[in-house]
Structure 1
Amino acid sequence: MSDAHPAADHARNLTLIGHSDQGGRPDGVQLMVNKGFAITGHMFSKGFSVIDVRDPKNPKPSAYVAAPENTWNIHLQSAGDLLLVINAKDMFAATEFADEKAYYTTSVGKTVGTDEVGKRQRDWTAGMAVYDIKNPAEPRQIGFMPVEGGGVHRIWYTGGQYAYASALLDGYSDYCFITIDMSDPTAPREIGRWWIPGMHSAGGETPDWPAGKRYGLHHAIIHGDTAYAAWRDAGMVILDIADRTAPQLIKHMNWSPPYGGGTHNCLPLPNRELLVVLDEAVLDHQEDGVKHIWVFNNAVRDNPVSIATFPQPDEADYKAKGGHFGPHNLYENRPDGLVSEELIFTTYQNAGVRVFSIADPYRPVETAAYVPAAPETLVDHRPNRNKVIQSCDVFVDADGLVYANDYNGGLIILEYGG
């Protein structure tokens, strides 16, 4: 950590112990920690990076793997000795999404030409890459699952035979749910698929939802034979995946409108029969409304009931600050990291990293916060972006160290004192 690293704009019960600019690529999206190495996908620097965090006070860049041309690797999953990395069209390098509002308010299959097979020549790599990370400092690609379309957006994988992903496939209006057989990691293959009726444009389906709403899967979190899928402006979709080849709908529930949509994470807390569901803030200055993190009673799998929302950060005027203000992501209780059904670790974009206790699920309480100072550089190359922090993802290791990254500000490592 540089001694010159600026003091936080706000800190409570979280102490900065390490910082890395990730080898001059300080933009990060999804973050995993595996055998003492942080692995992060990049939003603008293409590819992904590995940072040695075995000494968390002195993290050191270890490896960088470039993405194929016109392709991004923003999301990834590690489990044991395997790393799965998405390959998809680099949406934020595309002229059609120069104004990011278009990305969040448009059926992307129509925009990038994948809902009509063959309408646009593909100049990107689409699918999922598999790496051997017995030594995380030296990722070695061993497999690839191609898809026909825009590519894969985000994966859920905790080891074993199956992975689950959101995929933008030819003939569909937006990302749908796929199951992947990982029996042979050198040759993963799709074995099942589910989408909301109306999304399969090549099959003659037409949407019955309002224009300007994105009915596309962000990703699902799996518990047992149930997939809890965050379907952006379509809310939450719960699927029975006992037959991995033929997912079946259990429940689709949507609270947009009246709320602003953007559902991003649906985290089951099975021992307490709860769900924590996060709606992502996707537009500057809360143009898309106040976004919430919700607590649901999930005692009845086909009838979750909302019982609380998390408090909003209010120690500064974050709505006026610039960039996005509101929830983006939460730590998803990875089995190789901290597993807690009481503490919820989240990122709030320009309001930094937050920790909440849901000991009383009807009254979530913030227990810690860390808002880094403005980033040294603006990596985000899109027009009209502010040089403000946009805390993106958070990972908590088994020892309780908190790792968080940012679109511009690099990797921070924090100790929780709540």
Structure 2
Amino acid sequence: MTTAMNAELITHIDVPGGGQVWVDGERCYIAHIEAPHGTSIYDIADPSNPVKLSEIEIPRGWHSHKVRAVGDVMVVNHEQWGDGGPESFRGGLAVYDVSDPSNPVQTGKWETGGKGVHRFDFDGEYVYLSATADGYRGNITFIIDVGDPAAPVEVSRWWIPGQWEGGGEEYPWDDFVPPRCHHPLRVGDRLYVSYWHHGFYILDISDLRHPFAVGHSRRSPTFPHPTHTCLVLPETIRGRRYMVVADEDVSKIHPAPPSFGMVYDITDETLPIPVSTITVPGMDIDGSPQEPFTGCHQPSERFHGTVIPFAWFAHGLQVFDVAEPLVPQLVASYLPDPAPGASRASSNDVTVDDRGLIYLIDRVSGLDIIRLV
């Protein structure tokens, strides 16, 4: 049964389950998880009555579950998903002209080896992404120039020493989870890169062709969940810099309670220090292990001020204010009904628009547009 605190539903639309939702202007972009559904575009000028404009399909054996758009350029990922799929369809990053959102046109594609592209950030000119590549173990970090949408080109790549198998690098993690770049996010001349069970890295990208690490922190295996997102607060608070780090409630090294988030003080980038936790009260009752997809997934990559919405898997939307970084406060929540056929909610992604409206996509099906009250 739907429950809410300081939040109300504007509208719900039935859509195939999504991996990401993004809003640019009056357009809402939904990246679906399961083929043949790839990417849908909706007109949300009237948020109470979204209108579907188009949908791009993707062949089975692949998915296109992430999307970002700036103006008339949209980028989506191509990643192997499940078994099979046409061999001619390679993993990578597809670039679209969406000047006519009812008729998106693919203008180019950057291709890579292995499973393809997972997550990314996009500033309108460059894409900062996680991808597999021939000769490398696990996903590594790439910077791709899409200034010419017809010919996206690699600018640089970065990886943890030991991932470049083709270069003969010694592999030091035989007794631990293999490394995997998960999600780069750019702020200024820094790239904040979550690296799954290997924690996170802060990269200096003042020279885009030569990124290098200036900071690193890892909590696994003490904390068994992988690091999903590193979200920097754009403004200092009392002269200090802070970053919200979210762990994802999947791929646990060992059975454990649900995952949660943490606030790090990154005033000294060479020594990131955790200063507080972000969690939903009552989730961890006695420290007992709980099933995956119960706890935290990720914060919204876009937010206003210090109020950050989170997609919290089985607990829907959870909104925290981190104005006091040492004591984050839960200020709103919205738990949608489970999708048809599901036993509980599976809130997979969340974003906000310039009006302050919140868009919450379910992993199974359904999009909720929510207003804080």
In the superposition, the TM-score normalised over structure 1's length comes to 0.82
More helix by share: 1
Residue segments in structure 2 that go unaligned for 5+ positions in a row? none
CA shift for structure 1 position 289: 4.1
User: Partner of 2:244: helix, strand, or coil?
Assistant: strand
Q: Is the 8 A contact 2:246 2:298 kept in 1?
A: yes
- Find 1:277's aligned residue among 241, 245, 264: 245
CA shift for structure 1 position 212: 5.4
- Report the equivalent of 1:30: 20
- Report the equivalent of 1:325: 294
- Report the equivalent of 1:87: 78
- Report the equivalent of 2:167: 203
Q: Is the 8 A contact 1:156 1:163 kept in 2?
A: yes
Distance 2:255 2:283 in 1: 20
Where does 1:144-183 land on structure 2 (aligned, <5 Å)?
Answer: 144-160=109-125, 162-183=126-147
* CA distance 1:257–1:212, shift in 2 (3 Å): closer
Q: Are 2:130 and 1:129 aligned? A: no
- Report the equivalent of 1:238: 202
CA shift for structure 1 position 211: 4.0
Distance 2:34 2:319 in 1: 27
Q: Is the 8 A contact 1:234 1:261 kept in 2?
A: no
Q: Are 2:355 and 1:404 aligned? A: no
Q: Is the 8 A contact 1:20 1:60 kept in 2?
A: no
Distance 2:161 2:128 in 1: 20
- Find 1:224's aligned residue among 177, 180, 188: 188
CA shift for structure 1 position 188: 0.7
CA shift for structure 1 position 348: 0.7
CA shift for structure 1 position 322: 6.1
- Which residue type is aligned with residue 411 of structure 1? L
- Report the equivalent of 1:291: 259
- Find 2:9's aligned residue among 6, 16, 36: 16
Distance 1:314 1:296 in 2: 23
Residue segments in structure 1 that go unaligned for 5+ positions in a row? 1-6, 96-120, 379-386
Distance 1:39 1:290 in 2: 29
* CA distance 1:261–1:275, shift in 2 (3 Å): same
Q: Over residues 273-307 of structure 1, what are the superposed CA-to-partner deviations in whole Å (9 max), with x where a residue is unaligned? A: 111111111159x9354422111112122222111
CA shift for structure 1 position 52: 2.5
Distance 1:330 1:231 in 2: 16
- Find 1:366's aligned residue among 330, 336, 349: 330
Where does 1:321-400 land on structure 2 (aligned, <5 Å)?
Answer: 324-333=293-302, 338-340=303-305, 342-377=306-341, 387-400=343-356
- Which residue type is aligned with residue 208 of structure 2? R
Q: Is the 8 A contact 1:70 1:125 kept in 2?
A: no
Q: Over residues 235-289 of structure 1, what are the superposed CA-to-partner deviations in whole Å (9 max), with x where a residue is unaligned? A: 01111111211211112211112111311110111312111111111159x9354
CA shift for structure 1 position 317: 7.8
Distance 2:304 2:71 in 1: 16
CA shift for structure 1 position 323: 5.3
- Which residue type is aligned with residue 67 of structure 1? I
- Report the equivalent of 1:193: 157
CA shift for structure 1 position 124: 4.0
CA shift for structure 1 position 403: 0.3
Q: Is the 8 A contact 2:195 2:227 kept in 1?
A: yes
Distance 2:22 2:163 in 1: 31
Q: Is the 8 A contact 1:377 1:408 kept in 2?
A: no
- Which residue type is aligned with residue 274 of structure 1? Y
* CA distance 1:298–1:270, shift in 2 (3 Å): farther
Distance 1:223 1:133 in 2: 25
CA shift for structure 1 position 311: 2.8
CA shift for structure 1 position 138: 2.7
Q: Is the 8 A contact 1:229 1:265 kept in 2?
A: yes
Q: Over residues 41-61 of structure 1, what are the superposed CA-to-partner deviations in whole Å (9 max), with x where a residue is unaligned? A: 111244111223222112233
Distance 1:372 1:208 in 2: 44
- Which residue type is aligned with residue 63 of structure 1? S
- Find 1:302's aligned residue among 270, 277, 298: 270
Q: Is the 8 A contact 2:257 2:284 kept in 1?
A: no
CA shift for structure 1 position 184: 0.9
Q: Over residues 152-172 of structure 1, what are the superposed CA-to-partner deviations in whole Å (9 max), with x where a residue is unaligned? A: 111111223x22111101111
CA shift for structure 1 position 19: 0.8
Q: Over residues 327-375 of structure 1, what are the superposed CA-to-partner deviations in whole Å (9 max), with x where a residue is unaligned? A: 1111112xxxx432x1111011001110001121100110111111121
Distance 2:166 2:31 in 1: 32
User: Partner of 1:202: helix, strand, or coil?
Assistant: helix
- Which residue type is aligned with residue 153 of structure 1? H
- Which residue type is aligned with residue 298 of structure 2? N
- Which residue type is aligned with residue 70 of structure 2? A
Distance 2:201 2:283 in 1: 34
CA shift for structure 1 position 205: 2.3
- Report the equivalent of 1:110: none
CA shift for structure 1 position 221: 0.8
- Which residue type is aligned with residue 74 of structure 2? L
- Which residue type is aligned with residue 158 of structure 2? W
- Report the equivalent of 1:105: none
